[in-house]
Structure 1
Amino acid sequence: MSKPVVAVVGRPNVGKSTLFNALAGERISIVQDTPGVTRDRIYAEVSWLDMTFTLIDTGGIEPESKDIILSQMREQAQIAIDTADVIIFMTDVHQGLVDADSKVADMLRRCGKPVTLVVNKVDSFEKYMTDVYEFYNLGIGDPIPISAASRLGIGDMLDEVTKHFAENAKEEEGDERPKVAIVGKPNVGKSSLINHLLGEERVIVSEIAGTTRDAVDTEITWQDREYIFIDTAGLRKKSKIKEELERFSIIRAVTAVERADVVVVVIDAIEGVTEQDAKIAGIAHERGKGIIIAVNKWDAIEKDDKTIYKHTDRIRQILSFMPYAEILFISAKTGQRTRKLFDMIDVVLENNSMRIATGVLNEIMTEAVAMQQPPSDKGKRLKLFYITQVAVKPPTFVIFVNNKELMHFSYTRYLENRIRDAFGFQGTSLKFIIRERKEG
């Protein structure tokens, strides 16, 4: 089941970042094993009761003039409408209802997506309630009073937001077809790749109507198996500003990755892996998806017998946090190796949902421990008692140990490599949870 996406929209200085930080807590810096992926605080994972969702801050520029503020807000609202399942529209009780709020409310009202209207900076419900009622005039439902800074009313707001998730879940349930997201920065050839896959005689195509989001979902049948391709290209790229475009394409990528089983990160062979490619790949890695790096425009590269190795080494170096990712050199223009993509997607799908029997896992672990002693500290040695797989997509393992502190990241990585030696798991990340169990 893909995680719902919630986007926050509102004027500058209404407290979007404060709310974002209050909801995301300190969990933003969870990329300790992802070198080179600096994290703009564009998105975060938030848990409420038994639900988890991805929160997106559509924010960005804080312009001076009223006209620019309105056009910026419209742009943000459009990103939210395009990508989110639920939109939080944030206003400010101190500034009251302003013209820009009403104009954006019109857009949100027409879009048909669920909107939760939030009135921020309500530090005292008694004092401000009459001012909060003014926001009923926006005509997008009951305003929910909160104070992001002192965390008042946030529970009520989250109850309201998560209420809408069940409706979306119903739509997606029952669709067992593998979902493949084609992501990458603008102009690397995402659309041409999809068009090429569609162009095969044996491919049957139908645009899927009625999908809740505006991302273009395309149904492709290859050798009697149906796939849903989620394309993030070509959607309203009005912005001329590079930073905004980048932010925009990262938000798109987050949303597409969230819904996908396998993510194909398209990079430009001529340009090589850029920082933005690394960011987008990092999102898929963090979300535990199956990953394929498709190096496009391979036809434009001068080659000798070492070219492919050189390029592979360079990609592996920059994307060192995901050594398991599959790499495929393609040309969407000439069609070179594009059919191989389907075989690779199938392999990655299988690995991402592979289950290993507990007995076999424990044999591998015992052998690994015998080959390389677990670390010790001040005379205490790490003991590993037991390992078992608790989930798939991504394959997730729990290891029971005597002392969590002693289980260094490098030893977990060592065990991961032993498991990969035995079962491959190409194209998918593995997740390890370390639990303490007292001896005796």
Structure 2
Amino acid sequence: MGTHLVAVVGRPNVGKSTFVNRIVQSNEAIVHAMRGVTRDRSYHEADWNGEHFTLIDTGGIEMGDEDAFQTSIRNQAFTATRECDVILFLVDGQTGINADDEEVARILRRSDVPVILVVNKIDNPQREENVWEFYKLGLGDPYPVSAIHGTGTGDLLDALVDVLRTIPAREEVEEEAINVAIIGRPNAGKSSLTNMLSKNDRSIVSDVAGTTRDAIDTMAYHDGKAYRLVDTAGLRRKSQIDQDVEYYGFVRSMRAIDRADVVLLVVDGTLGLTDQDQRVAGFALERGCAMVIVLNKWDIVEGAEAKERVRDRVAEKLQFVKFAPVVAVSALTGKNTQRIWGAIDTAFENYGKHVSTSKLNTWLADIREFGHTVTSGKRVLKLKFATQTGDCPPQFTFFANDPDLVNDNYERYLENRLRKTFDFTGTPIRIKFKRKE
């Protein structure tokens, strides 16, 4: 199926994300009254009258402001205008034209891409006279809409589709890719790693914790394989999330983990392992994801002893995900980041591994012969049969005479023996026990 890209641009707080959510009929884009909530560009599927297109939500453009983020936000927004087929330029019908609107309009008039002017926040039809002043922007007829109530969006979408149908559609190929969620505490270097692996500046990078607020998908390619990298907002304990925006970013991050095959847990090597890192690893383990631990900023951890201490702490505190390989890198310089690809591939291969029932029961015969089991009084646990009952992650079911006898130590013993024999590096495994007389 063919598709078109449609960029939604404008200054902060004109309602771009609310507009995107209205058109795609979901709450994919984070919406909040705080200005500057959207920072990276994000992509959302939509259709109207049988015409499929992708909306690109962008951060608010402020032409004169050079704060910690604004230059990157502006670059992200204008990148979207260069890659799209049509631009929807949103302005605020309640506040009228300001200097940023005029400057953005001046840039868009020089663009080769068709521009449709959208006057948002016309919540009352009697206010439509507010629209006429926007003719001064020189971008043709303005379309009055209310993103909150949906009024006027039908006429706008009719006009958009009329333009799209004059533009050759891009061929949309559903690409087989490994889904990789890049997770970790705030400011661990997730966006830098995403940009380094994908070889572009898809995510905004800053020293300010919490820069990424949404889950950002980026395609990357290595040795002929495709990877869908998802840069997520920094995860922290819910009780420490004191802004609505950050909470919604947390929810998006959890959704990204839910659809991930492999997670890269990024740990700030200069801080060592924190309680937050443990919690984040726990989130991924609960959801059954394969995992690679990335020790980032390794180039500024001074001395072999300091590095050894960090590795020892990781081994100690992340014992519950000891199946995950550890790769030490510098996302900023790119040092050793190539090693991550091999770790991802190994984890993904084992995540989908299937062990035949015959091999599994040959292995089980060796376990029985070794004689290690569980007893309680006259009751003795006997494992009769085993089979793999699931994958992604691998799941094994053991049929036993008395499953109630199984304790945590014995389950860990079986898991360790399974891993030693069949190699499940990088992936959790699930074990269940059922009664068989």
Runs of 4+ in 1 over 6 A off after TM superposition: 82-85
Shift of 1:71: 7.5
The question of whether the paired residues in 2 share the 8 Å contact of 1:330 and 1:337 is answered with yes
**Aligned AA for 2:180?**
V
1:379 counterpart letter in structure 2: K
In 1: Cα distance, 2:43 partner to 2:220 partner: 22
CA distance in 2, matches of 1:294, 1:176: 24
* Deviation digits for residues 51-78 of structure 1 (CA, Å, limit 9, x no counterpart): xxxxxxx9xxxxxxxxxxx989x99x99
Question: Match for residue 298 of structure 1?
Answer: 298
1:433 matched to which residue of 2?
Answer: 432
- Offset from partner CA, 1:382-431 (integer Å, 9 cap, x none): 11010000111000101101112111121111111111111211010000
Which residues in structure 2 correspond to 1:189-208 (within 5 Å)?
Answer: 189-199=189-199
How far 1:175 sits from its partner (Å)? 4.8
1:283 aligned partner:
283
Q: CA deviation at 1:248?
A: 5.6
Q: Whose RCO is larger (CA < 8 A, sep 6+)?
A: 1
| Offset at residue 368 of structure 1 (A) | 1.8
1:183 and 2:183 matched: yes
Q: Distance in 2 between matches of 1:325 and 1:388?
A: 24
Q: How do 1:46-125 residues align onto structure 2 when only pairs under 5 Å count?
A: none
Cα separation, partners in 2 of 1:186 and 1:313, compared to 1, 3 Å: same
Deviation at 1:369, TM superposition (A): 2.7
Match of 2:340 in 1: 341
What is the one-letter code of the residue matched to 1:266? Answer: V
Which amino acid counterpart does residue 270 of structure 1 have in structure 2?
Answer: T
Q: Is the 8 A contact 1:253 1:280 kept in 2?
A: no
8 Å CA contact 1:352–1:395 kept in 2: the answer is yes
**Residues 4-23 of structure 1: CA deviation (Å, up to 9, x unaligned):** xxxxxxxxxxxxxxxxxxxx
Establish whether residue 393 from structure 1 lines up as the match of residue 392 from structure 2.
Answer: yes
SS of 1:332 mapped into structure 2? coil
SS of residue in 2 equivalent to 1:321: helix
**Does the C-alpha gap of structure 1 residues 178 and 282 become closer, same or farther in structure 2, counting only changes over 3 Å?**
same
SS at match of 1:311: helix
Contact 2:373/2:410 (CA < 8 Å) preserved in 1? yes
Partner SS, residue 241 of structure 2: helix
Q: Which amino acid aligns with 2:194?
A: I
Residue 298 and residue 249 in structure 1: after superposition, are their counterparts in 2 closer, same or farther (change >3 A)? farther
Q: CA–CA distance in 1 between the matches of 2:214 and 2:188?
A: 21
Overall identity of the aligned pairs, in %: 34
| Secondary structure of the structure 1 residue equivalent to 2:311 | helix
Normalised TM-score (structure 2): 0.55
Normalising to structure 1: TM-score of the pair? 0.55
Matched, 1:418 2:407: no
2:65 aligned residue: none
- Show the counterpart of 2:365: 366
Q: Secondary structure at the match of 2:277?
A: helix
2: distance between equivalents of 1:190 and 1:430? 26
Partner Cα distance (1:247, 1:371) in 2: 51
Q: 3-state SS of the aligned residue for 1:181?
A: strand
Counterpart amino acid of residue 313 in structure 1: D
State the distance in 1 between where 2:369 and 2:194 align.
48
> Which runs of 5 or more structure 1 residues have no equivalent in the other structure?
1-57, 59-69, 86-109, 111-137, 141-172, 207-212
Q: 1:202-254 CA distances to partner (integer Å, 9 max, x unpaired)?
A: xx999xxxxxx96211011112111110111499x9xxx95336756643431
- 3-state DSSP of counterpart to 2:242: helix
Alpha-carbon distance in 1 for matches of 2:214, 2:428: 29
Partner SS state of residue 272, structure 1: coil
**248-257 or 378-387, which moves further after superposition?**
248-257
Using the alignment, how far apart are the partners of 2:352 and 2:303 within structure 1? 37
Paired residue for 2:241? 243
Write the distance in 2 (CA, Å) between the matches of 1:293 and 1:320.
12
Q: Secondary structure at the match of 1:284?
A: helix
Q: For 1:139 and 1:403, how far apart are their aligned partners in 2?
A: 61
Q: Distance between the aligned counterparts of 1:309 and 1:418, measured in 2? A: 28
C-alpha distance in 1 between matches for 2:188 and 2:253: 14
- Aligned-partner Cα distance in 1 for 2:43–2:276: 19
Residues 404, 434 of structure 1: 8 Å contact kept: yes
Following superposition, the deviation at residue 139 of structure 1 comes to 7.5
The corresponding residue for 2:383 is 384
Secondary structure, in 3 states, of the residue corresponding to 1:264?
Answer: strand
Question: Counterpart amino acid of 2:341?
Answer: F
1:232 matched to 2:232? The reply is yes
Conserved 8 A contact 1:184-1:253: no
Alpha-carbon displacement from aligned partner over 1:22-54 (angstroms, at most 9, x marks no partner): xxxxxxxxxxxxxxxxxxxxxxxxxxxxxxxxx
User: Do the aligned partners of 1:353 and 1:393 also contact (CA within 8 Å) in 2?
Assistant: yes
Letter in 1 for 2:291: I
| Structure 2: distance between partners of 1:244 and 1:369 | 54
How many Å separate the matches in 1 of 2:312 and 2:364? 30
* 2:258 counterpart of 1:258: yes
Once residues 202 and 248 of structure 2 are traced to their aligned partners in structure 1, the CA distance between those partners, rounded to angstroms, is 28
Residue aligned with 1:244, SS = coil
Cα 1:205/1:404, change in 2 over 3 Å = same
